[in-house]
A and B are shown apart, each in its own frame.
Chain A
Amino acid sequence: MEEKIIVAIIVSAIAFFSIYAFTPILIKFLEKRNLTVKDVNKMGNVMIPRPGGISILIGIVASEIVLYSFFPISEILAIIITSILGFSVGIIDDKKTMGGWFKPLALAFCAAPILLLGAYDSNLDFPLFGSVKIPSLYLALVVFMIPIMGNTINSIDVLNGIASGVTTIASFALAVSLFILQNYEIGIACLCLAFASLGFYKYHKFPSRIFPGDSGAVMFGATYGVIAIVGQVEVIAAIAILPAVINSFLFLSSVKKIVEHREIKNPVKHTDDFKLKSTDENHAPITLVRLLIAKKPLSEKQICNEVLKLTAFSGILAVITAFMMGVRI
């Protein structure tokens, strides 16, 4: 146990400090090459460097490789390869805007390492009721999990700090849940994601100094998804990011099709003092942010705080669920 605690401290430090140290260099690099986009929720012409996914890739992969050197198990190898593939899909979308179906399809292929390495167990565990063995259905779950998680985190990346903040809180909740379930190796792997997203949050929080881009957001989601599968905590993982899941659910149930987020009408507009308010446009999709500002306009920072509080609430429900895994009725 002592060895595992030392490893956890080492890899968490690598994940956090590599991003903390590298991101300012990346910001300067991107600014110098004019790789910036307008922050549409700021007054004036505020340009923000993008994509920050490169720094997230370095933090997550470096820490997971060190973890793999201590625990050379196929589950951690699957996490490393799937994360890199998730980043690759995102960076393609950063460079060239692809159609709405590109990401889900490409991310489905990112699940290949999990299947090829056999880094999954076809039992699906539920709290209170036990587990169910569904071999063929579980294969479909593995293939769908990465696109769903990748797109879920990507679609909530709408305001400063939300994608990295939500990933940080959900990953810490998932790591705690994995420790409760005594799955220590994958719990430490999840700590890598938690500290990597925390390191990036430092620069992504309001007012953002860098945006993760699709490469960063999709990689956050893909890594979170693969950890959920190899750690056999699929249900707990879904609960921990319920605000992001709700955002996708509200969006899909109003738009009723899969579209690239840049193709849709903006569900929010700005007041004179640049707070965000819900649009009167009936055909703009319903999103979590639109719900939060339905009654009264809020500043970007207030909305971010509300979303992070909702994620903390979901994280608590996830940890309660982890405790309930050991209870049978």
Chain B
Amino acid sequence: MAIKIYSFIFTMWVLILIGGGLIVTIIGPFSLGGIGNVNPIILSGIKVGIALVLIFVWVFTLTKVKNWIFKTDVKY
């Protein structure tokens, strides 16, 4: 069982690295330059929205990984 938990920790670490990469490459350079001068608060709000979607995808993926690793061990 401990091996499964170690592999889950390692998977989570990899997901953190990938998730960080997505945040930096998607949110960091994101702008609405083509539309003209956009209010920074609106731009910030859009960035927050994208970040929330990424976090949701991240947690969803982690939940699937958790279910796959531990499905035979504990039922809820």
The answer for the CA separation of A313 and B41 in the assembled complex, in Å, is: 41
Taking a contact as CB atoms under 8 Å apart, the answer to whether A317 and B9 are in contact is: yes
A-B contact count (CB 8 A): 100
Within 8 A of B (CB), among A271-329: 278, 282-283, 285-286, 288, 290-292, 294-295, 306, 309-310, 313-314, 317, 321, 324
Which of B9, B66, B75 meets A250, CB within 8 Å? B66
A28-36, A169-177, A238-246: which lies at the interface: A238-246
Which of A133, A295, A310, A324 meets B28, CB within 8 Å? A133
Taking a contact as CB atoms under 8 Å apart, the answer to whether A294 and B23 are in contact is: no
Map CB proximity to B onto A248-269 as digits: 1 under 8 Å, 0 otherwise.
0110011000000000000000
The answer for the CA separation of A283 and B74 in the assembled complex, in Å, is: 11
Residues of B within 8 A of A131 (CB): 24, 28
Which of B5, B44, B48, B51 meets A291, CB within 8 Å? B5
Residues of A within 8 A of B48 (CB): 136-137, 140
Chain B residues packing against A (C-beta within 8 Å): 1-2, 4-6, 8-10, 12-13, 16-17, 20-21, 23-25, 27-28, 41, 44-45, 47-48, 51, 62-63, 66, 70, 73-76
Listed A/B pairs (15) with beta-carbon separation below 8 Å: A127-B17, A130-B24, A134-B27, A136-B41, A136-B47, A137-B47, A137-B48, A235-B20, A243-B9, A249-B66, A253-B66, A292-B2, A295-B73, A310-B6, A324-B17
Chain A residues packing against B (C-beta within 8 Å): 124, 126-137, 140, 235, 238-239, 242-243, 245-246, 249-250, 253-254, 278, 282-283, 285-286, 288, 290-292, 294-295, 306, 309-310, 313-314, 317, 321, 324
